[in-house]
Amino acid sequence: MDALMEVGKELEKYWKYWDIHNKWAEWRMIEKIPWKDGQEGFEEQTQYIRFKMGMMASDRDLLISSKNFIQPDGPNGKIWLTVTKSVDRGDTPELDGVVRMYNYTAARYEQIGNDVRVTEFRQMDLKGYFPTAMMNKICSTAALDSVKSLYQTMKKVKEVYAENQK
């Protein structure tokens, strides 16, 4: 769980490991709001992500804000909840030729022994026209890709975290 918390503190360092298919044309942090109680890390973060879709569909982007909640005394130890939703902001307008998607994700991360149990609920609207064949492909692989990207990121974070603890 400590490695997972490290991602939240330094997202700029780890975001690229989520892109398992090399489809992210752009990623940037828009805003970070520190915890009000002074703990290390950020209570809320707003990010912009632009995705390359290829020649069959317009590129897509997301402007999302993630709000984090920590429950230090769960039944098995620390629990981290994060709620991510699409937002509108005047400083990050929609771009011509790029379709702004909608996303809402609620995730719960719980330390159980040496493992972290992840429970995630996601609702997305890719907006605009999308070829049926491409949509079927995305739908059939989305859940697995999400788990793969989390695993790849956590593996890298654990390596970096272990190295930093030496």
Sequence-distant (≥ 6) Cβ neighbours of residue 139 within 8 angstroms: none
Q: pLDDT value at position 61?
A: 96
Q: pLDDT value at position 29?
A: 93
Q: pLDDT value at position 100?
A: 96
Question: Which pLDDT tens digits describe the chain residue by residue (166 residues)?
Answer: 676 777 777 777 778 877 878 888 999 999 999 888 877 778 899 999 999 987 778 899 999 999 998 888 878 778 889 999 999 999 999 999 999 999 999 999 888 888 888 898 988 888 987 777 777 777 777 777 777 877 777 787 778 777 777 7
Does domain 2-164 correspond to CATH entry 3.30.70.1450?
no
In the chain, at which residue ranges do the beta strands (DSSP E only) sit? 24-34, 42-51, 59-74, 77-86, 98-100, 102-112, 115-125
Distances (CA, A) of 95 to 10, 88, 163: 27, 13, 40
Return the closest-CA partner of residue 24 out of 45, 54, 1, 50.
Answer: 50
Tokens matching residue 142: 């989305």
Sequence-distant (≥ 6) Cβ neighbours of residue 151 within 8 angstroms: none
For strands 59-74 and 98-100, give the pairing: parallel
Q: pLDDT value at position 83?
A: 96
Q: What is the largest CA-CA distance in the chain?
A: 51
Tokens matching residue 10: 């330094």
Q: pLDDT value at position 67?
A: 94
Quickly count helices (H) and strands (E) in the chain. Answer: 3, 7
Q: pLDDT value at position 44?
A: 92
Q: pLDDT value at position 87?
A: 98
Sequence-distant (≥ 6) Cβ neighbours of residue 156 within 8 angstroms: 14, 17
Contact 68, 106 (CB under 8 A): no
Q: Where are the domains of the chain?
A: 2-164
Q: pLDDT value at position 138?
A: 72
